[in-house]
Chains A and B, each alone.
Chain A
Amino acid sequence: MKKALMKDNIKEIKNTYKRFLSILLMAFLGVGFFAGIRATSPDMVDTIDKYYDSQNVYDIQVMSTLGLTQDDINEISKIENVDKVIGTYETDGKVEIDNSEEIVKVMCTEDINKPQLLEGKLPENTSECVVEPNFLTQTGKKIGDTIEVQIEDTENDDGEEIPYLVNNEMKIVGTVRSALYISRDRGTSTLGSGKINYYMYINKDNINAKDVYTNIYVKVKDSEKLETSSDEYKELISNTKSKIEEIKDEREQARQNELIDNATTKLEDAEKEYNDKKQEAEDEIAKAEKEIEDGKKQIEDGEKEIADNEEKANKEFADAEKKIADAKEEISKNEDTLNQEEAGANEQFQSLEQQKSALESKLDTVNSALDTANQTYNGILAALNNPNIDAGSLESLQGQKTACEAQIANLEANKNTLIAGITEIENGITSGKQKIEDGKNQIEAAKKEIEEQEKEYNKTKSSTIAQIQAAKDKLEASKKEIASGEEELTKQKEEVNKQLSDAEAELIDARDKIAKIEKPTWYVLDREQNAGYASFIQDTESIKNLGQVFPIVFFIVATLISLTSMTRMVEEQRTQIGILKALGYNKFQIASKYVMYASLASVIGGILGMCVGFILLPKIIWLMYSMMYQIGDVSLQFNWKFGTMGLGLIFVCIVGATIYALTRELRETPAILMRPKAPKIGKRVLLERIPFIWKRLSFSSKVTIRNIFRYKKRFLMTIIGILGCTALILTGFGLKDSISRIMPDQYEHVFNYDLQISLKDGLEESQIERLKNNLEQKDEIIKVIETYMTTETAVKNGVEEDVQIIVPEDKNSLDGVINIVDLDTKEKLILNDNEICLTDKVAQLLGVKAGDTITLQDSDGNQTEVTISNVVENYVYHYVYMSKELYENLYNKEYESNVLLAQDNDLSEEQEDSLAKDLMGYDEISSVSLISTAIRSLDETMQSLNYVVVVLIVSAGLLAFVVLYNLSNVNISERIRELATIKVLGFYDKEVYDYVARETTILTVIGIVLGLVAGYFLNYYILGTCEINMLRFNRTIEPLSYVYSALITIAFTLIVNFVTYFALKKIDMIESLKSVE
């Protein structure tokens, strides 16, 4: 008999497949949406959990205002449950690229918080680094390029300034993704604009300033076994965290002591050195003074000596001159004598000459006598030699010859005597002349000598005079030297005194400093304080919330649909139930058919829904979020919990509705069941009691109105179905509207500038003024205003949010460039000098309103308390506006512009680009960002939102279709006799259709109107739940979206009506008139 029922059941499904399908589809949608949206949040959490596990991300992080030491690490390691403690170095630096300054977060590759390598390799030495992919795409650098990172020197524990890095120039060897920065937010910095643009990783060896760690990361034992952000995980972490906090105080104290000790030792050394130096300086001065005294005395001595020498020399000169004069006189006397003697001698010589001449004449005579003798002699000789000569002649001749020879000899003797006399006279003259000559020579020699002497003397004299002069000069120079020495000494004395007093002041300072060494503050943070992580987890919460609302619509509709369908089914089979009952089947056996029918539909639909929902929805939602987070792909999983929960819920809804529909019928006796059910009784509607209106209505309107009120359940169902459909579609459009309006709202309404020009550090006011004037003179630029911008953290009620502080140079110039508009009154505001204006979203996050105070905290932890004058409109990010006067008062700093905001002249994209390029050429400008570029890139990512709209429209359409189709079926089957009757009465098909459709149309219109209202609120709610911290969605929906939503709903209704039209046409008059079944 069970078999028979089963067969009946399968036949039933076949025959009423439309009804079965509509219930199945409702189960599909209900479970699909429920399970899908519900699973998305855990899927996302699971994704980040796996990612964090694989990158070995910290559980707890410790930072300190004065750095952390190895001792700190050791102490933390001792804490129970602590698995791993790693100290590392993180700081901010600047990278200059094409004149533009980028602020980067510089971290070390560690075993903890491992960066995920995307391309290339990790840095292996001091000259390598890896960057995030954005860095490359936005700056145009490539792997293999070298960049220079400038990091401020840091003070080591000895108080010396040392460079932070070993190597500032590094080659990019790869790109990585950091688990610490999964959102686009890179945090704040004291450098530049105060906003970190990129992160990069370097090898730890490249850290030069290794004295103290900046961060300590702690891994808690077994934490990776728990899902991050789960309650168990949070409990485990908070236990360990509180244990770390227990030693916090002690460690802070230890660090303070260490620093004080260090500084005290140093101070003592410095004091000693100071004293030594002072002594030394004093000694040196004394010595110098003495030297000057000595010098002075020496000069005095020298002067005296020179005077003495001069006197002596002068005397000597006089002596020498006299001697020379004497000698000269004697010489001239000798000369005179010699001249006299010469004259006498010359007379003698004349007489001697005469004697000589006499002798010579005698000699001549002798000589001629001799010649004659010789001739005679030669004649004799010649005659002798004649061989003919007779001996007597020969004898005569011989006697003549001998006589001649005697004569010659005689003559010869005379001659010789004469020659001797002449020679004697000549000798006498010669010797006399010689004598005189000698005398003359002697005098010449004496003269020469005296000349020599005189020359010598003159030389000596001039050299002596020169010597004396030189000595005098030298003395003069020494005098001068001493004078300048004296002057120098005075100066030096002053200087030394100054140095000493400076040194002393320094010592006092140092002493003060020691006194002022504060206890450092430890910040013990967990993952929740990581901005990216926190906002991600928050977003998963939003989706979870979303999952709690959306599916409800589907569940309600599913329940109502099943209720009507199953009620109708039971009613249709009333007779059959009666028969079965009469045959002796019990309630449960009879009910089992319908329960089975409903169960099958809900289970099959539910399982299909699960399969699609678990994949499709997380994927789509992830797609939306992937534009904000850099984690990788979502990890999809079959979530049994939500699967069975969804299935269970839909099962309860559908089967429950079935059982509810059944119970009424099953209570009746078979006899009653087998009789046709009394048709619904006609009733007057309230409107009929107002004859004034009722009478004016056409007949068909009256019928329609009555019918609408007759089938209240259906009336309600239709309206709910249409309402849900319209609301969902409107929400889809509303979401799109809101999100696509963020950019224009922010960058046209609130910010109305086109260029944000960051200035280099340390510019003079006049330089900025000149630059501003230059820019204003450009044709492309309309207006330029000066501002100071920095990023700080706003703190209130334990909530921390990063805010950008904007301080205009002239608060009156802000209008039109940045519009500060009160959120409530919509009035444009001008900053006052005592309070700040805070933007809307952060005010909400911090839970503050106008008149409240908040704390602003810079990245060094300095806190400033401020009062809010107004909460102002804003859509992207958080801002604090304050006047220059307030800024200077609060921070005790002189105002200094660092950003210029410029409005341009409605430039095209290319024109703006070239203007930006042109501006980058200015020395004063560090970077130029175009608002239009930012809008464009964000607009592109917003495109993915269309998916959401499509998903919503499709699901809403399905919902509407199922509801309307089902209702229309029920409507027709319930009223089939009535419809057949009017057909018999001769209603044309169109008239029959109108007879039914008029009701549907009215209900659709009511449903749409209510749906638009409900959609408004649903949109409001959903925007509220899925709004990202950084953004404020504008919750107004465009009028056109209302129109579209209504039109789309109408289109769905028309499709259903079209189907209805044919169903009505097919009604067989005869079959329906035969009898009541």
Chain B
Amino acid sequence: MPYIEFKNVNKIYEMGEIKINALNDTNFQIEKGELVVIVGPSGAGKTTALNILGGMDTATSGRVIVDGKEVTKLKNKELIGYRRNDIGFVFQFYNLVQNLTARENVELATQICKDSLDPEEVLEKVGLKDRMNNFPSQLSGGEQQRVAIARAIAKNPKLLLCDEPTGALDYKTGKQILKLLQDTARKENMTVLIITHNGALAPMADKVIHFKNGTAEKIEINENPKPVEEIEW
């Protein structure tokens, strides 16, 4: 049984008269500890899929199973609990709380989790030992994203979901971030999902899911994923 399973998942947005099929009978599976990259053009449904997987949105129909738990059947409160304990989320725009220092942003997450990691250690891991007490505005974009990643992994989640984590970063910084994610997946044996529209990143993943027109059109498995450093785009 796969660790994560999307079974015939549909998501229909109703905007008044118009219905938009954001997800259309999507099916894919992910194993524990896999680094997965989801690629596809804008509007292909990758974010929708991620949101449903992350418990931020609900599917119109179909089943999503994570570690034996059927997410699609969870009630609102259970869904929050799921987000809280099982999911780590990294946003394109970092979404740090501006009013909190790097460490506090991490603490914001850890204080509500059951088996959270020590915020300082995590920040050390992401290379921000010296910037722990800085406010987001005092950090560069890459640093901010590192804080965001630290915040996500400090929760010790089952699943790390990253929505265009490099979208707002320059090439070099983006690469560093991706490296961090790849390292995290490897070292912590964490299941990591990265959404990107940049197909060039595909080689770094264990599994690549291609999205098109609201469905997982193609699933590739990389037998030999490349380290990020070796990928150029």
Q: Which A positions have Cβ atoms within 8 angstroms of B? A: 678-683, 699-700, 702-703, 706-707, 710, 977-978, 980-989, 991, 1069-1070, 1073, 1075-1076
Give chain A residues whose Cβ lies under 8 Å from the Cβ of B107.
699
Residue pairs across A and B with Cβ atoms less than 8 A apart, 16 shown, are: A681-B137, A682-B136, A703-B97, A703-B108, A710-B99, A978-B98, A982-B108, A983-B83, A984-B89, A985-B108, A985-B112, A986-B83, A986-B87, A1069-B57, A1073-B163, A1076-B93
Bound together, the chains give a CA A683 to CA B136 distance in angstroms of 10
Within 8 Å by CB of A682, from B57, B87, B91, B135, lies: B135
**Distance of A978 Cα from B84 Cα, bound (Å):** 16
Interface flag for B111 (CB, 8 Å): yes
- Asked if A987 and B112 sit within 8 Å, CB to CB, the answer is yes
Q: Decide if B180 is an interface residue (CB 8 Å cutoff).
A: no
Write out the residue numbers on chain B whose beta carbons fall within 8 Å of the beta carbon of A703: 97, 99-100, 104, 108
Given the known inter-chain contacts A982-B108, A986-B112, please indicate yes or no for A1075 contacting B54, CB distance below 8 A: no
Interface string of B86-113 (1 = CB under 8 A from A): 0101011101111111001001110111
Quote the shortest CB–CB distance from A677 to chain B (angstroms).
12
Q: A682-B136, A703-B100, A991-B112 are in contact. Are A986 and B80 (CB under 8 A)?
A: yes
Residues of A within 8 Å of B113, CB to CB, are 986
Knowing A985-B109, A1070-B57, the reply to whether A682 touches B99 (Cβ < 8 A) is: yes
B85 contacts chain A at the CB level, 8 A cutoff = yes
CA distance A982 to B96 in the complex (A): 10
Partner of B56, one of A679, A700, A984: A984
Bound together, the chains give a CA A988 to CA B55 distance in angstroms of 13
16 extra interface residue pairs, beta carbon distance < 8 Å, beyond A679-B137, A703-B100, A1070-B51: A681-B135, A682-B136, A699-B104, A703-B104, A706-B99, A978-B97, A981-B97, A985-B89, A986-B80, A986-B109, A986-B155, A987-B80, A987-B112, A989-B80, A1073-B56, A1073-B163
Candidates B81, B87, B98; contact of A679 at CB < 8 Å:
B98
- Residues B85 and A706 in contact, CB atoms below 8 Å apart: no
> Closest A-chain residue to B48, C-beta based?
A1070
- The minimal Cβ–Cβ distance linking B231 to chain A, given in whole angstroms, is 26
B19 within 8 A of A: no
Decide if B77 is an interface residue (CB 8 Å cutoff). yes
| CB neighbours of A683 from chain B (8 A) | 99, 135
The minimal Cβ–Cβ distance linking B69 to chain A, given in whole angstroms, is 15
* Chain A contacts for B56, CB-based, 8 A: 984, 1069-1070, 1073
Q: Could you tell me if A986 and B84 are in contact, using CB atoms closer than 8 angstroms? A: yes
In the complex formed, the residue of B with least CB distance to A1076 is: B93
- Work out how many contacts link A and B, with CB atoms closer than 8 A: 91
Q: Which residues of A contact B163 (CB under 8 A)?
A: 1073
Query: Is the Cβ of A985 less than 8 Å from the Cβ of B84?
Result: yes
Q: Give the residue name and chain of the A residue nearest to B54 (CB).
A: A984
Q: Are B101 and A682 in contact (CB under 8 A)?
A: yes
When C-beta atoms are compared, the residue in chain B nearest to A676 turns out to be B93
A-side contacts of B95, CB under 8 Å: 977-978, 980-981, 984, 1073
Query: Contacts of B109 on A, CB cut-off 8 Å?
Result: 985-986
Q: Across chains A and B, which 3 residue pairs bring their CB atoms closest together, nearest first?
A: A986-B84, A682-B135, A986-B83
- What DSSP secondary structure best describes chain A's contact surface? helix
Q: Is the CB of B91 within 8 A of A1073?
A: yes
Q: How far is the CA of A908 from the CA of B79 in the complex (A)?
A: 70
CB neighbours (8 Å) of A702 from chain B are 104
The distance from the CB of A205 to the nearest CB of chain B, in whole angstroms, is 90
Q: Please determine whether B98 and A682 come into contact, CB atoms closer than 8 angstroms.
A: yes
| B192 CB, min distance to chain A CBs, angstroms | 17
CB–CB B87/A707 < 8 A: no
Chain A neighbourhood of B85, CB < 8 A? 986
Given contacts A699-B104, A987-B80, contact A680 B54 (CB under 8 A): no
Of residues A683, A706, A981, A991, which shows the largest number of chain B Cβ atoms within 10 Å of its Cβ?
Answer: A981
From the candidates A699, A706, A707, A977, name the one contacting B111 in the complex (CB within 8 A).
A699
Q: How far is the CA of A1076 from the CA of B91 in the complex (A)?
A: 12
Alpha-carbon gap, A682 to B98, bound state (A)? 5
Chain B: CB-nearest residue to A679: B98
Q: Which residues of B contact A1069 (CB under 8 A)?
A: 56-57
Q: How far is the CA of A941 from the CA of B113 in the complex (A)?
A: 64
Q: Which residues of B contact A988 (CB under 8 A)?
A: 77, 80, 84
Quote the shortest CB–CB distance from A685 to chain B (angstroms).
Answer: 10
Q: Which of B52-69 contact A (CB under 8 A)?
A: 54, 56-57
Interface residues of B in 95-141 (CB under 8 A from A): 95-101, 104, 107-109, 111-113, 135-137
| Cα distance A978–B104 in the bound complex, in angstroms | 14
Give chain A nearest CB distance to B74 CB in angstroms. 12
The CA of A1075 and the CA of B109, in the complex, are separated in Å by: 21
B100 CB to closest chain A CB (Å) equals 6
Residues of B within 8 A of A987 (CB): 80, 84, 112
- The residue in chain A whose Cβ has the minimal distance to the Cβ of B109 is A985
Which residues of B are found within 8 Å of A1070, using beta-carbon distances? 51, 56-57
Given A703-B108, A991-B112, A1069-B56; A681-B98 close (CB under 8 Å): yes
Which of A678, A988, A991 has the most CB atoms of chain B within a 10 A radius of its CB? Answer: A988
Q: How far is the CA of A695 from the CA of B83 in the complex (A)?
A: 29
A988 to B78 alpha-carbon distance, docked (Å): 10
Chain A residues positioned under 8 Å from B93 (CB to CB): 1073, 1075-1076
A682 with B84, Cβ < 8 A, contacts A699-B107, A1073-B95 known: no
Looking at the complex, which one of B51, B96, B100 makes contact with A706 (CB distance below 8 Å)? B100
> Closest CB-CB distance, B109 to chain A, in whole Å?
5
Distance of A1069 Cα from B83 Cα, bound (Å): 12
Which residues of the other chain, B, contact A980 by a CB distance below 8 angstroms? 95
- Tell me which residues across on chain B come within 8 A of A981, comparing CB atoms: 91, 95-97
Chain A residues, Cβ within 8 Å of B155: 985-986
Alpha-carbon distance between A980 and B97 when the two chains are bound, in angstroms? 11
Cα A7 to Cα B77 with chains together (Å): 41
C-alpha spacing A1073/B84, complex, angstroms: 17
Smallest Cβ-Cβ distance to A981: which chain B residue: B95
Shortest CB distance B166–A (Å): 15
A682–B108 alpha-carbon span in the complex (Å): 15
Interface hits, B128-163 → A, CB 8 Å: 135-137, 151, 155, 163
Interchain nearest-CB distance for A991 vs B (Å): 7
CB distance from A497 to the nearest CB of B (A): 116
User: In the docked arrangement, what's the CA distance between A679 and B95, Å?
Assistant: 11
Known: A699-B111, A1070-B51, A1073-B91. A984 touches B100 (CB 8 A): no
A681 to B112, CA, bound (A): 25
Bound Cα distance A753, B74 (Å): 77
How far apart sit A679 and B155, CA to CA, in the bound complex (Å)?
Answer: 26
How long is the Cα–Cα vector from A1070 to B98 in the complex, in angstroms?
Answer: 19
In angstroms, Cα B104 to Cα A702, docked, is 9
| Bound: A700/B96 CA distance, A | 16
CB distance from A1065 to the nearest CB of B (A): 9
Q: Closest Cβ of chain B: how far from A975's Cβ, in Å?
A: 9
Contact B137 A682 (CB under 8 A): yes
- The CA of A627 and the CA of B210, in the complex, are separated in Å by 85
- Inter-chain CA distance A1076–B80, complex, in Å, is 24
Given A682-B99, A682-B101, A1073-B95, decide whether A984 and B108 contact each other with a Cβ distance below 8 A: no
A681 to B96 CA separation, bound complex (whole angstroms): 11
Instruction: Give the shortest distance, in Å, between A215 (CB) and chain B (any CB).
Output: 78
B98 CB contacts on chain A under 8 angstroms? 679-682, 978
In the assembled complex, the Cα of A283 lies from the Cα of B93 at a distance in Å of 139
CB distance from B67 to the nearest CB of A (A): 16
User: Which residue of the partner chain A has the closest CB to B79?
Assistant: A986
Instruction: Provide the B158-197 mask, 1 if CB < 8 A to any CB of A, else 0.
Output: 0000010000000000000000000000000000000000
CA distance A703 to B109 in the complex (A): 13
Which single residue of chain B is at the shortest CB-CB distance from A702?
B104
Would you give the shortest CB distance from A978 to chain B, in whole angstroms?
Answer: 5
Set of chain B residues within 8 Å of A682, measured between Cβ atoms: 97-101, 135-137
B104 contacts across to A, CB distance below 8 A: 699, 702-703
Q: How many angstroms between the C-alpha atoms of A710 and B97 in the bound complex?
A: 12
Q: Which residue of A lies closest to B51 (CB)?
A: A1070
Given A680-B98, A682-B98, do A984 and B83 touch, yes or no (CB 8 Å)?
yes
